Structure 1
Amino acid sequence: MTTILKEELTIKIHKVLELVRPYLQTDGGDISFVELTEDFIVKVKLLGACGTCPMSIQTLKLGVEQTLQKSIPEITKVIAVDDNLQSIFPEDF
């Protein structure tokens, strides 16, 4: 992935996350973009109530990931990471 493509996709990712964010915030949660990897995986942090909610994997996959992939087909996967950038869900390995 070129630097220009990465920058363009990152801008698009931020715009899509701004559309998703209000839905997360209604339940006391939030989301923060961490990085876009070379293999088009988006890493995010789930914040607030989303960080501890047992339904957050469904929110991530059925809400955030599907919305991002619909808007940005290049995205292969979205994973939630902790402060050490490790996946917080075993399915994401």
Structure 2
Amino acid sequence: MRITDIAKATAIINQALEDVRPMLMEDGGDIELISVSDDGIVEVRFLGACASCSLAIMTLRAGIERTLMLALPEIRRIELA
């Protein structure tokens, strides 16, 4: 499936990121949405302590990816910027 309304998808993703943000902030980190493509590729960037954490990719795959894909099933892949 393609994402036909990027603005709506961006709003949904940002809301889902708000749900995981407190967990990241507990460890001094944060996350930022960089882009959403119509073919379902979402690009995010870790900020603060999360940017240099060796477990960042695990955090992305185990928690954030699942949350975002449940919020917006049209997402095919999430990449780190």
Q: TM-score, normalised by structure 2?
A: 0.92
Partner of residue 43, structure 1: 43
Partner of residue 84, structure 1: none
2:19 aligned with 1:22:
no
1:1-93 correspondence runs (5 A):
1-2=3-4, 5-81=5-81
Any idea what SS the aligned residue of 1:19 has? helix
Structure 2, gaps ≥5 residues long: none
- CA shift for structure 1 position 67: 0.5
- Taking only the aligned residue pairs, the percentage that are identical comes to 42
Q: C-alpha separation between the residues in 1 aligned to 2:38 and 2:12?
A: 16
Q: C-alpha separation between the residues in 2 aligned to 1:29 and 1:78?
A: 18
Any idea what SS the aligned residue of 2:53 has? coil
Q: Over aligned residue pairs, what C-alpha RMSD do you find?
A: 1.0
The code of the aligned residue for 1:40 comes to: G
Q: C-alpha separation between the residues in 2 aligned to 1:63 and 1:47?
A: 16
Deviations 1:48-91 (A, max 9, x none): 1111000000001111111000111111111110xxxxxxxxxx
The code of the aligned residue for 1:38 comes to: D
Deviations 1:12-59 (A, max 9, x none): 001000111000000111001101012111101100111100000000
Moved over 2 A (4+): none
Count of aligned pairs: 79
Q: TM-score, normalised by structure 1?
A: 0.80
